[in-house]
Chain A
Amino acid sequence: MKKVALAILLAATPAFAHARLNASDPKANASVKAPRQINLTFSEKLEPAFSSATLTDAAGKTVPVSKSVAATTITLLPLMLKPGTYKVSWHSVGQDTHRLSGSFSFKVIK
């Protein structure tokens, strides 16, 4: 029991409950060549029924994408993206039932 407690305390880094966005690929505000997929990684396991993301272009028009939600990741598979600025809007629900949402943008270059 002591070892388990120590492991929990020692493994700790700044973190908390609720499914927060930990990382994305492309990163926020990055300039990249047209990505084949957009990955959003969250801090805890997601509830797929209530977690999703959408992609919009600079004009605010929704870009059609295939979506999948697995464990801690939401993946968007867009068709070939033209150069321009895109915004990813996401909402996540972790197994603790709390909902978080947010967005970030990235730029596609030639």
Chain B
Amino acid sequence: MTMVAIAAARGVYFAAIMVLFGASAFAVLLRKRLPIIAAVRLPRFLLLLLALVAGCIWLILAAGQMAGALTQDAIAQAAIATLFGQLSLVRAGLLLGMALIPRRRQKLIAFFSALCLVLPSATSHAAASSPAGFTAVGAILDGIHLLTAAFWIGGLAVLVILFRRKEPNILLALSLFSDWAIVSVLLLVMTGLIDAASILLGGANDASPSSPATPYLSVLGAKLALVLVMLGLAAANRFRLMPRGDDKAVARNVALELVLGTIVVLLAGALGQLSPSR
């Protein structure tokens, strides 16, 4: 039960902060490359509140998991004396700080939300299971994986907003997103494969032989299957529907991709809780 709750809190935290980072980053890009498109208004406070609440629940439940029982002492110890807790406090501070940044300073919001996104990588499976001396490499790869996934999902959120307000220059925005999304997805897939290999094949520190756990592989398989569907939708948009100018079908696919992307992030939240080994 606790594991499910932590996975959910983790998933909600990442979903909120990924949309905030990706949408802010794509909004900055839009303003620079396509000033003809009016600024996109993001639900920043809602996303910050979601991330803050989910982050706090994640810390509290993780404290109970670490101590074996949820007590005030365990929460205080977890917050002060563990790397995860200290990073959680930094993230909470950044989230609160972001609420004070003026809306037009989207570069700053993108920068701080990127920090909130990559900080948990220091305590991720990818970092923990990296061979000795490669912990930082594992954390960096995990961070790149999160940032590129966030750009994809957040960019889709911006496109959904543009479709809803019937933006007349939507095809220009789609074309810009598509160019950047290709690079982003390539990096995402590459880092994802290295992360998965590092976690499933293991690091150099553990001498006890073990094999991949079925629940972990099932969730990972479901996540990969959904990503493949998302890639299929993106390819259909880029190579079939956009050249035809079929706005309605593109809008439907973009919305579907965003929903699938959110499910993928929630599944990734569960992966962080499941043990990769038996």
A positions within 8 Å CB-CB of B? 4-5, 7-9, 11-18, 20-23, 43-45, 47-50, 72, 91, 93-99
B62 interface residue per 8 A CB criterion: yes
* CB neighbours of A48 from chain B (8 A): 81
Q: Nearest 5 CB-CB pairs, A to B? A: A15-B202, A15-B206, A16-B277, A43-B206, A49-B81
* CB neighbours of B82 from chain A (8 A): 47, 49-50, 93, 95, 97
CA distance A11 to B67 in the complex (A): 33
User: Which of A14, A23, A45, A96 has the most B CB atoms < 10 Å from its CB?
Assistant: A96
B131 interface residue per 8 A CB criterion: yes
* CB neighbours of A91 from chain B (8 A): 68
Q: A12-B197, A50-B67 are in contact. Are A22 and B207 (CB under 8 A)?
A: yes
Contact in complex: B208, A8 (CB < 8 Å): no
CA distance A49 to B79 in the complex (A): 11
B residues 101-117 touching A (CB-CB < 8 Å): none
Contact in complex: B205, A12 (CB < 8 Å): no
B positions within 8 Å CB-CB of A? 62, 65-68, 77-78, 81-84, 122-125, 127-131, 134, 137-138, 194, 197-199, 201-210, 272, 275-277
Contact in complex: A12, B131 (CB < 8 Å): yes
CA distance A7 to B203 in the complex (A): 11
Given contacts A12-B198, A16-B206, A47-B84, 13 further A-B contacts (CB under 8 A): A8-B138, A11-B134, A15-B210, A20-B208, A43-B205, A43-B207, A44-B206, A49-B82, A50-B78, A91-B68, A94-B128, A95-B82, A96-B127
Contact in complex: B199, A16 (CB < 8 Å): yes
Contact in complex: A8, B137 (CB < 8 Å): yes
Contact in complex: A17, B194 (CB < 8 Å): no
Shortest C-beta distance, A17 to chain B (Å), equals 4
Picked from B124, B138, B202, the residue with its CB within 8 Å of the CB of A14 is B202
Nearest B residue to A48 by beta-carbon distance? Answer: B81
Picked from B66, B67, B128, B201, the residue with its CB within 8 Å of the CB of A17 is B128
CA distance A96 to B130 in the complex (A): 12
* CB neighbours of A9 from chain B (8 A): 194, 197-198, 201
| 6 interchain pairs, CB-CB under 8 A | A13-B202, A13-B206, A20-B208, A22-B206, A44-B205, A50-B77
Contact in complex: B66, A22 (CB < 8 Å): no
Contact in complex: A97, B275 (CB < 8 Å): no
Contact in complex: B208, A17 (CB < 8 Å): no
